[in-house]
Amino acid sequence: MRKTITIGLLGMGTVGTSVVKILTENANDISQKVGIPVNIKKIMVRQLDKNRNIDVDAEFTTTIDDIINDPDIDIIVEVMGGMNPTKDYIVQALVAGKHVVTANKDVVAKHGQEIFEAADKSKVDFLFEASVAGGIPIIRPLKQCLAANKISEVMGIINGTTNYMLTKMANEGLDFNSVLAEAQAKGYAEADPTADVGGFDAARKIAILASIAFGSRVSIDDVYVEGITTISTEDITYAKELGYVIKLLAIAKDDERGIDVRVHPAFIPAKHPLASVHDVFNAIYIKGDAVGETMFYGRGAGGMPTASAVVSDIIDVARNITHNANSRILCTCFSQKSFCPVQNTESPYYIRLLVADKPGVLAAIAGAFGAQQVSLHSVIQKRKVNNSSELVLITYQVSDANLRLAINTISGMSVVNKISSVIRVEAEDFA
């Protein structure tokens, strides 16, 4: 009968430090849940002599082999981040028969298949709850709690930085650049904010969620991505006036057209549960054939919330170890479904444009939309910008391809001075 579960920790940054903190502070509860204590034996760091504000009774090392070749170590916990050499460390650990828990969305989104194959071959666990939406339980709910369902849709606010920025823009009327500067000052956005504001961070996470939700591998390259850099205060004001909120959504749908996975800003109705997800909070809304609509809400980043998911995964692996039940749930991508090209996706659209202020213009524009089967649900015209009239339209459901054709035609019309914004409307059921 084994007496402890032994961990090798890779990385001692914000998340690593929080993992140590939880394993120490909640040690009694955790050992009751597992049946035996869970201890960290070794920690791999870049610098041995760095001053760390935490007491931990473990050996520090700078070499991966010290950890992978240690026969005492059961679980390798990867919270060092990055792609290289992290991905290789994970695969080596799995090949060596170690269970692996990671918070690394980049590696999972890009190399999920190779990693799962290695885990399957070694009959070990590979858990990654922390890789999407920080502390919010979402991987295990999809793989287990909602396993009875055919999932048709996952729609999430899964990037805290952009949600903080959009909330701030909406509440305080500030423009994109001011809120970005503030988010950077607060440490919510990085010096190079591209991964967040460009939508790429959300794209990695939705690739992971879509793979699990639909049982079919979706990689980062399958995700259509638009960021929030073009969202203006005018769009936010119009959204409010029309009963909407603008959010950066990560969307995955599975229907007869194929799997449709994308990240882009979208208008969502103010009464939708996702509309009241503010600041750095994340939420994931899921539709299943049996359960209907569910939503999971919480902190999508930060040391302690992320470590909450990491340590809960550790407890799960430890429970598997004590019951000889490892590799109980591995890869759940049982099929490879086809994808729906973004051109074929459908939604209503919000369009803001500047037009000449003279009779017949609205009729000409409505006609051009009509020629591409785009019907208009609502029109606002009330503001002058220099010598132009500003026109705001919301269309009925239309394919992206038809919408783009209509926009092309319209942008070539002599009475159209500028197409300022084209933004999808989601979670709206216009007949």
- Is residue 300 part of the contact set for a second copy (CB under 8 A)? no
**Closest approach of a second copy to the CB of residue 429, in Å:** 16
Determine the number of helices (DSSP H) and then strands (DSSP E) in the chain.
14, 18
Taking the C-alpha atoms of residue 45 and residue 320, their distance in angstroms, rounded to an integer, is: 28
Cβ burial 152-170 (10 Å sphere, 16+ → b, else e): ebbbbbbbbbbbbbbbbbb
Over the window 115 to 134, marking each residue x when it contacts a second copy by CB under 8 A and - when it does not, the resulting string is --------------x-----
Strands 258-269 and 416-425: parallel
Taking the C-alpha atoms of residue 179 and residue 183, their distance in angstroms, rounded to an integer, is: 6
Cβ distance to a second copy smaller for residue 312 or 347 = 312
Residue 380: φ, ψ to 5°? -125, 130
How many CB atoms within 10 Å of residue 62? 10
Cβ distance to a second copy smaller for residue 252 or 398 = 252
- Is residue 32 part of the contact set for a second copy (CB under 8 A)? yes
- Is residue 331 part of the contact set for a second copy (CB under 8 A)? no
Q: Which stretch binds a second copy (CB under 8 A): 88-96, 245-253, 293-301, 347-355?
A: 293-301
Cβ distance to a second copy smaller for residue 65 or 289 = 289
Per CB under 8 A, which of residues 188..227 are in contact with a second copy? 215
Cβ distance to a second copy smaller for residue 135 or 198 = 135
- Is residue 337 part of the contact set for a second copy (CB under 8 A)? no
- Is residue 334 part of the contact set for a second copy (CB under 8 A)? yes
Of 294, 397, 399, 420, which one interacts with a second copy (CB under 8 A)? Answer: 294
- Is residue 65 part of the contact set for a second copy (CB under 8 A)? no
**Closest approach of a second copy to the CB of residue 306, in Å:** 9
Q: Which stretch binds a second copy (CB under 8 A): 23-31, 52-60, 155-163, 235-243?
A: 23-31
Category of 292 on φ-ψ map: left (φ > 0), alpha (ψ -120 to 50) or beta:
left
**Closest approach of a second copy to the CB of residue 310, in Å:** 8
- Is residue 81 part of the contact set for a second copy (CB under 8 A)? no
**Closest approach of a second copy to the CB of residue 172, in Å:** 16
Q: In DSSP terms, which residues pair with 269 in a beta bridge?
A: 244
Of 2, 13, 25, 343, which one interacts with a second copy (CB under 8 A)? Answer: 25
Per the annotation, does 16 bind a ligand?
Answer: yes
Q: Which stretch binds a second copy (CB under 8 A): 139-147, 203-211, 400-408, 416-424?
A: 139-147
Residue type, 133: A
Tokens of 209: 């969620």
- Is residue 162 part of the contact set for a second copy (CB under 8 A)? no
At residue 392, the 3 state secondary structure works out as strand
Q: Report which DSSP code applies to 338.
A: P
Cβ distance to a second copy smaller for residue 3 or 334 = 334
Taking the C-alpha atoms of residue 150 and residue 287, their distance in angstroms, rounded to an integer, is: 9
Taking the C-alpha atoms of residue 282 and residue 163, their distance in angstroms, rounded to an integer, is: 8
Cβ distance to a second copy smaller for residue 143 or 377 = 143
Find the length of the chain: 431
Count of chain residues binding a second copy (CB under 8 A): 58
Taking the C-alpha atoms of residue 375 and residue 366, their distance in angstroms, rounded to an integer, is: 8
- Is residue 71 part of the contact set for a second copy (CB under 8 A)? no
Tokens of 266: 């979208």
Q: Which stretch binds a second copy (CB under 8 A): 3-11, 65-73, 285-293, 418-426?
A: 285-293
Which one is catalytic: 168, 205, 247, 253?
Answer: 205
Taking the C-alpha atoms of residue 319 and residue 266, their distance in angstroms, rounded to an integer, is: 42
- Is residue 293 part of the contact set for a second copy (CB under 8 A)? yes
**Closest approach of a second copy to the CB of residue 277, in Å:** 8
Q: Which stretch binds a second copy (CB under 8 A): 30-38, 102-110, 114-122, 402-410?
A: 30-38
Cβ burial 83-119 (10 Å sphere, 16+ → b, else e): eeebbebbbbbbebebbbbbbbbbbbbbbbeebbebb
Taking the C-alpha atoms of residue 5 and residue 353, their distance in angstroms, rounded to an integer, is: 62
- Is residue 292 part of the contact set for a second copy (CB under 8 A)? yes
CA dihedral sign, ordered 168, 220, 154, 94:
negative
205 noted as active-site residue: yes
Cβ burial 401-420 (10 Å sphere, 16+ → b, else e): ebbbbbbebbeeeebbbeeb
Category of 129 on φ-ψ map: left (φ > 0), alpha (ψ -120 to 50) or beta:
alpha
Q: Return residues touching a second copy (CB under 8 A).
A: 18, 22, 25-26, 29-30, 32-33, 129, 135-137, 140-141, 144-150, 215, 273, 276, 288-299, 302, 304-305, 307-312, 314-316, 319-320, 323-325, 327-329, 332, 334
Q: Which parts are annotated binding residues for L-homoserine? A: 190
Active-site amino acid positions: 205
Enumerate the known binding-site residues for NADPH. 105
